[in-house]
Copies of this chain bind each other. A is one copy, B any other.
Amino acid sequence: MNKSSLFDGINEKDLKKMFKCFDTRIIEYKKDTTVISNMAKNNLIGVIMEGEAVLVRYDYNGNRTILEHLEEGSVFGGIFLSSNFNEISVHTTSYSKIVMFDFDHIPKKCNKNCDYHTVLINNMLSTLAEKLQKLNERIEILTKKSTREKLLEYFENTGRRLGRKTFTLPMSYTDLADYFGVDRSALMRELKYLKDDGFIETNKKRITIINY
């Protein structure tokens, strides 16, 4: 059950103790349920113990954008977001079991001074640092001026991370276009040009980077 890096190194028994001490609620949700709305304004931390969900945002037009896919172990909460986001909520995309507690518990020195507390704080630091890394990587891509550069940078990053030249995209092209902040059809077009120019080969969502 303990798949989240936030709880890494905390054993089952301590975790139970902690959940009690933190006044944690573990809630089970059916598919397609709104877990919390208006998230940016509160101080809750949530961890997906089982299932999947999405972090979504509604803009003033009512358009829904997926900000993040949350899977087993993912951590979410207002603390990770910009405070001028308005309507942010979490929706389950499958049956899910989610733990929620108040962020304030983390820095507070527990009166029982539980030893898992130190571990949890370290994990929280790592979790925040990881999120920062991801955001920085995305910014790096978003600031590239052309869609071509965005694609190449993204492919190189993915290739480097996996240590190989061929890989399957972890998301749909529709989502990739959103990730790049770019029109989907424009992305497909540029993808074709990249193939024509011999930079990559593709087969559905399988990408191969060509060494030139």
A contacts, CB < 8 Å to B: 79-85, 106-107, 109, 118, 121-122, 124-125, 128-129, 131-140, 142-145, 157, 160-161, 178, 181-183
CA distance A136 to B85 in the complex (A): 9
* Nearest B residue (CB) for A124: B125
Q: A107-B125, A125-B125 are in contact. Are A132 and B135 (CB under 8 A)?
A: yes
- In the assembled complex, 6 residue pairs joining A and B whose CB atoms fall closer than 8 Å, in A order, are A84-B161, A135-B135, A139-B142, A143-B178, A144-B181, A145-B182
CA distance A145 to B48 in the complex (A): 32
In the bound complex, residues from chain B placing their C-beta under 8 Å from that of A109 are: 118
CB–CB B122/A107 < 8 A: yes
CB–CB B137/A132 < 8 A: no
In the bound complex, residues from chain B placing their C-beta under 8 Å from that of A183 are: 145
CA distance A106 to B55 in the complex (A): 31
* Nearest B residue (CB) for A80: B132
CB–CB B121/A132 < 8 A: no
CA distance A129 to B143 in the complex (A): 22
Q: Which of B83, B131, B137, B142 meets A142, CB within 8 Å? A: B142
Q: Given known contacts A82-B137, A107-B118, what 20 new A-B pairs fall within 8 Å (CB)?
A: A81-B132, A81-B133, A82-B134, A82-B140, A83-B133, A84-B160, A85-B136, A106-B125, A107-B125, A109-B118, A121-B121, A125-B128, A128-B132, A131-B132, A135-B135, A138-B139, A142-B181, A144-B181, A145-B181, A145-B182
